[in-house]
Chain A
Amino acid sequence: MRVGIIGYGAYIPKYRIKTEEICATWNQDPNKIKNGLLVEEKSVPAKDEDSITIAVQAAQNALLRANQTKINKSKIGALYVGSESPPYAVKPSASIIGQALNIGNNYQAADLEFACKAGTAALQICYSLIKSGQTEYALAIGTDTAQARPGNVLEYSASAAGAAFILGNKEEEIIATINKTLSFTSDTPDFWRRSLEQYPKHAGRFTGEESYFKHVISATEKILEETNLKPSDFDFAIFHQPNGKFPLQAAKKLGFTKEQVLPGLLVTKIGNSYSASSPLSLSAVLDIAKPNQKILLTSYGSGSGSDSFVLTTTENITSKQNLAPQTLDYVNNKKYLKYSDLRSI
């Protein structure tokens, strides 16, 4: 059975804070930070936004593209949302999102956590539920309002956004087939947040080679092997973006080109939206992809794991791209804040 994306949507809050603004507060050199991280500015939520409201917005855009009047929302039999910043430690975001979207009561749901790859984990679960025949339609969301300790280097990149995908199995509705997905997982303590702590901690340079690169490269190599594809077969390559340098370095190591990565490279303009990061890049790529193009996506979540996907767009994609605001529309719709405008969430 063919399973794929029938609707996708992004949402990025309109507020931004520049790297220079954060540097000025902590007396750091903006050029050093910008050249080191390749992050110029990042998105921050409005006072009345959180990972749930962002998820609802993204999902509403996904429903617009899936043409909700046709698919009948109450046929969505699963809703999984991945986030590191759920407003409740106990009380699901999924059910609040489901109520806001008015999808009825006949769906299974849960919130997921796996650092920055919880959104792609949701995608995998939804894919599997449809492939197994458990449900006709499923909604997967990655959303975050990421927080970092003030003054810590993560503060420059921890940002807010959401991306949502409605999956289905009807050929006439699918805009991007999921050809294959697999994961590479290990217990690697590179980045964590204890239950009652407000901010995460990380293990410095250990977050590179043994963490990000090992998992991203291992997962990607395995999926290429199992699909019998090589990097040059792809039109787009998306890798998780904790900063602007890592995805480009990973691409180079794997044999992908800069040109394959750039269309999905959003971190320079909006920062790292954690669980939304790879999903958001996927939505940016789907906005511009033509029919029959191949997309490689490998996410990374600290702790650690990488989810890898091979997708192929269909003839149906072109007519769906303009049915909702595009990812770049949100990237470019912005208002700058001062550091003093930020509130701790």
Chain B
Amino acid sequence: MFQSSPIPYWRRQKENFCLQGCKCTKCSKFYYPKKYLCTCGCEKLDPIILNGTGTLLSFTKINLPPAEFVGMAPYCIGLIVLDEGPKIISQIADCDDINDLKIGMPVKTVFRKYYSCGKDKIINYGLKFIKANSHPAQ
């Protein structure tokens, strides 16, 4: 139901498209997604676009997807720690073989499709991660 509404998706455009998190104005801690109250107690956190680079902490490959992702399976999920500090759970794109992934691998964001609830429904885009090679091509 809510998955196919365009409105929650639209609200989170900056978070999903641009990796907008926030930074505490008191202790400078970074957060993604946005936080309402910093652990230091400060309530004033300013939005900030994060760099999109980080390190892979863990990963898995999903064979049994939820309904919205049935056409996309199998796909890989990763737990990534971003360079600024916050961690994020996201998909790892272009990953056909799970053996290509290693804990500690550097990763960076790419803009991809996530899902659509139907041929007549809005398409949900967002950021996924891929291996960040030392060679400039992905």
A residues apposed to B, CB below 8 Å: 14, 46-50, 52-53, 56-57, 60, 87-88, 96, 99-100, 102, 322, 324-326, 329-330, 332-333, 335, 343
Contact = CB atoms under 8 A, between A and B. Distances in A.
Contacts of A56: 111
A98 B96 CA distance: 30
Interface stretch (B24-32, B55-63, B77-85, B130-138): B130-138
Interface of B: 13-14, 17-18, 49, 71-72, 75, 91, 93-94, 96, 110-114, 123, 125, 128, 135-138
A67 to B, nearest CB: 16
B112 A53 contact: yes
Contacts, number: 59
A324 B136 contact: yes
19 contacts: A46-B93, A47-B72, A48-B72, A48-B93, A48-B112, A48-B113, A49-B113, A50-B113, A50-B123, A53-B110, A53-B111, A53-B113, A56-B111, A96-B125, A99-B13, A102-B49, A324-B136, A325-B137, A332-B137
A87 B123 contact: yes
B113 A102 contact: no
B84 to A, nearest CB: 17
Given A100-B125, A102-B18, 13 more contacts: A14-B138, A48-B91, A48-B128, A52-B125, A53-B125, A87-B123, A99-B13, A99-B17, A100-B111, A324-B136, A325-B137, A329-B135, A330-B137
Contact of A325 (B72, B75, B123, B136): B136
Contact of B18 (A57, A96, A100, A322): A100
Nearest to B93: A48
A333 B133 CA distance: 12
Contacts of B135: 329
B interface, by DSSP: helix, strand, loop or mixed? mixed
Given A99-B13, A329-B136, A333-B138, A49 B112 contact: yes
Nearest to B49: A102
A7 to B, nearest CB: 15
Given A53-B113, A96-B125, A343 B136 contact: no
A330 B111 CA distance: 17
Contacts of B96: 335
Nearest to B114: A48
A283 to B, nearest CB: 13
A45 B112 CA distance: 11
Contacts of A100: 17-18, 111, 125
A295 B122 CA distance: 41
Contacts of B94: 14, 46
A57 to B, nearest CB: 7
Contacts of A46: 93-94, 112
A50 B114 CA distance: 11
Nearest first, the 5 closest Cβ-Cβ pairs linking A and B are A329-B137, A48-B112, A56-B111, A325-B137, A325-B136
A49 B125 CA distance: 10
Nearest to A341: B96
Contacts of A324: 136
